[in-house]
Structure 1
Amino acid sequence: MKRILSTIMGLLVLLAANAQNVTTDGLHQPVNVNDVVVTKVAYAVFSSHDSVYVNPQTGQSDTVTIDDGMATYTPEEFEVKMAAKRAAIKKLIERAKARRNAPTITPDQDWNYEGKQERSSARLYYYTYPSVDADGNPVRLSALMGVPMNTVVDDFADILMGWPWGSSLISDIKIRPSNVVIGCHVTITSNWECPTSYERNTSILGLDNFRTDTGMMLFYTRYDLLRQPCCLVILPDYEGYGLTKDRPHPYLYQELTARQCVDATRYGLALYQQKVAREEELPLDDGWKTICVGFSQGGSVSLATHKYIETNDLTDELHFAGSVCGDGPYSPVDHLQYYMTDDGSTTYPFIKTSHRKERVSMPIVMPLILKGMLDSNPYMRQYAITDFLTQNFLNTGVIDYIEAKKNPDAKDQYSTGDVNEMFRLIKETGIHNGKQILQKDSLFPFDDGDNVHGNMRFMLTEKCLADFRRLTKGEELQNDFMKDLVKALESNNLTVGWRPQKRIGFYHTTYDTVVPYVNLLKFMERQSELTYYFANEGDKPSEREGVRPPHTTENETEADVMIIDTGSTADHVPAGQDFFFFGSVTSPDYQLMKWVLKGKE
């Protein structure tokens, strides 16, 4: 049966290969920086403190920098803060001169705002740039670029300038951005979550900045002596958000989103080089490289952008090093089959997840996938959402929640967490907008405390569900709309159709029920010519699933792919927080990033 299914899927992949012909017009032409429009400039201030870290394996201790928070400021607000800091530096110098000794370089002991040690800053450029849409038509999109300001070093320079010998050292301690990060954000359903809407200053110590991957990826711009590299970060909004919030978001249209991310990067770099030429910014390091990073949808966009750069001969132009991908939907058909067949088993026999057959632990995922395909994929535009989703499920407002991103006020939009709360309310009351939701306890059969689970038997139409069941058995599909959906999904399969040349770092938790581990397993199966290194060598969950790449190494310097797969009991959202964990210099994203940037020896 598996052989039959593999044959069917292989044919579908071949049929789908030419389904999405994203235009490459203008891709290899020099970008015109005059086509970039800067819409706003702001500043991010990072706060942190030193902590003694004890390595549990070696018992050795070291001092690490712990991130405490981040806040954004207007240029005027930022200048006020910098003026206060300069005044603190002046007092430090005067006290040191009075003692007739050079000052100890610990400036954060002398300025402390709101209980935080503000050690580093970044300049944020909000800009728009030209790209193309699914039909090859011109579209203007938006992005955010974070530029390291290296204020720790600048502070040292200010202190040294207080001494006659200080000016001779300043040119030697100015630090330039070492690399470029293309930051690919997670699945969002509200416009206020997109990068160019990132103005989060309301929480205690700024900690809610860590609750979004935009905030976590902006931390790559932060400079300190311990956590390196310090990067220029480019964060595209994706079509359908930011400037284009009134347009549909082409969810999981990988090639198109990758093209738009590449355009954001090329125009962002042009803008940055213009700032360098005007001596408004420092040049990138001579050996700079570009790397893609993302989690969830961002993990697949990161891999898609990697593929797009390599298959369109942009590696040299972008100094491309590779990608870091966390818990991404790389193989969407296999992903959906997991929803249909998994009964809570994982690669760890002693762990059971809350997932059950024909259920979805984050119900908004199905409407997002279907709407994304219907809005943008050439195979799908002839169909309607009612071919796939029941009217009763549609009555819960699922499409309205997605479309609400167009509303001008954040309070009238819905994040994925907000949507979950709406489903929870419906499960409790059985009512939405005055309409009774039938069989609410069957539609939403389980609440695991984090997510309200949806039952695909009551979410999908009878014909759609029947064909999904046939798909899992390797049987012929009976409905054209389902045949075309599978073709559309397979045309976005990132596990086939190319052989990566640059390094890839994968992170995936085996406990993820939203973006299941099968996505990583299928990549390993289908990219068997690559050489794999497993960071957790003593415990390889993939082997329990029977996936043993023929080319593995115990020497990470020889590998094409590094894998961190974990049996953590964290499901999708907390797994993302673990991926970007802000309290350690060895978080998975950072560990993988450093490895990718080293390149294969």
Structure 2
Amino acid sequence: MRRFNLLRGILISLVIISFYACKSDPVSPDPNSTYTPPVSAEGITVLESQYLDTTSLNNVIDRFESSPNYYLANLGNHVQNLANNSGANIIWYAKITYASTDNKGAPINLSAKLIYPYKPFTTFKVPLISFQHATELMKEHAPSQWQAYKNPGDFTEVEIAAGIALKNQWAIIMPDYQGMGEDRTEPHPLCHADRLAKSAADLITYTIAYLKSKDNNTNLEWNGKLFIMGFSEGGYSTAATVREIEKRGGINITGAVCLDAPFDLTGTMLQVMLSDAPFGAPFFLPYLLRGYNGVYEDSKVFNFDSLLLPQYAKDLFTYSDGLHTAHDLNAKMPADKIIKKIFKQSAIDSLTNPNSRMRMFLHENNIWYGWKPKTKMFIAHAMNDDLVPYGNFVKLKQEWGALPNVEYFELGQCINYLGSVHGSVAPWAFLQGTLWISEQAE
């Protein structure tokens, strides 16, 4: 632990000192080489694939260095200055699908993004990192939909993942989850532990088999190490996926990173839902309710007409479908951003009653409920997070206690650069998480 903290301090100092230093030299693509794209194998279907050479990838990451968010500029600079020790010419990024289950547990093909370094006639031994994306309202902004230079501001996590995949010589997968990407038939089950976990665990299982295959054209050899990482909903999904894989057995997780995640739905996050104070991301509440209605539709517990006042029910149901922007959905919420005002009094009564069906459904999705991890984990949180409050971190520590396999790390009091501390701190959290994984991957 001491060595890791020292390494982190040194690397962060170097990032800050070298803020305007030159990025690592790009490796030119070989004009005489044919870059062989990945192909379908072992349950992974490749729908489409493209590659970026190192110069083009540097151009994608360059924009982060001029960001008004110092944390993002720092992270972008860190990625640019990582040495490309593998000598990879390019990264491949592919839209893939695999068999999983939908919100009702029925079979469905879900989509994801696969990103990895490539050099002709060279085999790279790589760890597998499942990078679970943060809360995203738009289906078309799920990781699988990313193409270089297409709406770059909508795919920051994927672009950072691409840079890290090349420089760190990692194979990265990014599940879209149900109701995102190619799955346009159902709502996204925001913060539903079982659904998110199964979508990610299924992807991990198939990808491990894929990397072991000799027929995938990737020139990758899995080194047996598996990491899972995510911020916000991605951190929640990461913990849920660890639980699912531990329950299934057969796969060893080397480490998992959960960053500023909403672990505590019936405590900390319920206080957010029922607060008398304005909330900075009002869309969160109808988006959560729409997803839970999709999972528990037969129970009618999360039916919008039953829960919400008539002036809100129809519009919020329509605009939380994943085809409208957060701005559009926010515009249908109370103007003063006091989000509990959308509820009927009967719904508030149910949420405050520990024995109600609604409260019990939420309770089942508390990450800390009925489980303690065996996997090595790194849990980090900003102490002044304004959208996913620090109380989530505190509650997890209370429930899990001092486990020898879990490291709790406070990100401190962070600066609000982009309208919310939560959004601003994400790159700083990613930096801590990737440094931790780099340490464990050695």
Q: When the two structures are superposed, what TM-score results if normalisation uses the length of structure 2?
A: 0.76
Deviations 1:123-163 (A, max 9, x none): 122221111234432111111111211x5xx7xxxxxxxxx
Deviations 1:203-228 (A, max 9, x none): 7xx6x37x5322222333112xxxx3
Alignment of 1:346-357 (within 5 A): 357=276
**Aligned partner of 1:326 among 244, 254, 259:** 259
Alignment of 1:148-547 (within 5 A): 148-149=117-118, 174=122, 176-202=124-150, 208=153, 212-223=156-167, 228=168, 230-274=169-213, 277-278=214-215, 280-284=217-221, 286=223, 288-316=224-252, 320-339=253-272, 357-377=276-296, 380-394=299-313, 397-403=315-321, 405=322, 413-417=323-327, 419-420=329-330, 423=331, 443-445=334-336, 454-468=337-351, 471=352, 476=353, 483-531=356-404
d(CA) in 1 for partners of 2:371, 2:340: 36
Alignment of 1:93-132 (within 5 A): 121-132=90-101
For 2:241, give the aligned amino acid. Answer: T
For 1:402, give the aligned amino acid. Answer: S
3-state SS, counterpart of residue 575 of structure 1: helix
3-state SS, counterpart of residue 58 of structure 2: strand
3-state SS, counterpart of residue 178 of structure 1: strand
Distance 1:457 1:260, change over 3 A: closer
Determine if contact 2:139/2:181 at 8 Å carries over to the other structure.
yes
Residue in 2 that maps onto 1:351: none
Is the counterpart of residue 39 in structure 1 residue 47 in structure 2? yes
For 2:131, give the aligned amino acid. Answer: G
d(CA) in 2 for partners of 1:140, 1:130: 5
Determine if contact 1:504/1:561 at 8 Å carries over to the other structure.
yes
d(CA) in 1 for partners of 2:102, 2:270: 29
d(CA) in 2 for partners of 1:366, 1:202: 29
d(CA) in 1 for partners of 2:44, 2:160: 25
Residue in 1 that maps onto 2:438: 594
Superposition deviation, residue 252 in structure 1: 1.6
Determine if contact 1:33/1:267 at 8 Å carries over to the other structure.
no
d(CA) in 2 for partners of 1:192, 1:466: 36
Residue in 2 that maps onto 1:578: 428
Superposition deviation, residue 496 in structure 1: 2.7
For 1:215, give the aligned amino acid. Answer: E
Deviations 1:397-421 (A, max 9, x none): 3322222x4xxxxxxx43335544x
Determine if contact 1:375/1:381 at 8 Å carries over to the other structure.
no
Unaligned runs of 5+ in 2: 1-39, 63-75
Residue in 2 that maps onto 1:566: 412
d(CA) in 2 for partners of 1:309, 1:148: 26
For 1:594, give the aligned amino acid. Answer: S
CA RMSD of aligned residues (A): 3.2
Deviations 1:482-505 (A, max 9, x none): x11111111111113122112111
d(CA) in 2 for partners of 1:389, 1:569: 35
Determine if contact 1:496/1:527 at 8 Å carries over to the other structure.
no
For 2:433, give the aligned amino acid. Answer: D
Is the counterpart of residue 139 in structure 1 residue 108 in structure 2? yes
For 1:280, give the aligned amino acid. Answer: N
Determine if contact 1:299/1:327 at 8 Å carries over to the other structure.
yes
d(CA) in 2 for partners of 1:302, 1:527: 16
d(CA) in 2 for partners of 1:202, 1:131: 28
d(CA) in 2 for partners of 1:147, 1:129: 18
For 2:345, give the aligned amino acid. Answer: E
d(CA) in 2 for partners of 1:371, 1:282: 42
d(CA) in 1 for partners of 2:216, 2:371: 41
Unaligned runs of 5+ in 1: 1-31, 51-63, 70-105, 107-117, 155-170, 342-355, 406-412, 427-439, 446-453, 532-558, 581-586
For 1:262, give the aligned amino acid. Answer: A
Determine if contact 2:102/2:195 at 8 Å carries over to the other structure.
yes
d(CA) in 2 for partners of 1:589, 1:120: 26
3-state SS, counterpart of residue 244 of structure 1: coil
Q: When the two structures are superposed, what TM-score results if normalisation uses the length of structure 1?
A: 0.57
Superposition deviation, residue 246 in structure 1: 1.9
* Aligned residues between the structures: 379
d(CA) in 1 for partners of 2:171, 2:156: 19
3-state SS, counterpart of residue 39 of structure 1: strand
For 2:58, give the aligned amino acid. Answer: S
For 2:324, give the aligned amino acid. Answer: Y
Determine if contact 1:299/1:325 at 8 Å carries over to the other structure.
yes
Superposition deviation, residue 565 in structure 1: 3.0
For 1:272, give the aligned amino acid. Answer: L
Superposition deviation, residue 65 in structure 1: 6.3
For 2:288, give the aligned amino acid. Answer: I
d(CA) in 2 for partners of 1:400, 1:363: 15
Distance 1:459 1:378, change over 3 A: closer
Determine if contact 1:189/1:401 at 8 Å carries over to the other structure.
no
d(CA) in 2 for partners of 1:414, 1:200: 23
For 2:184, give the aligned amino acid. Answer: K
Identity of aligned residues (%): 19
Determine if contact 1:340/1:358 at 8 Å carries over to the other structure.
no
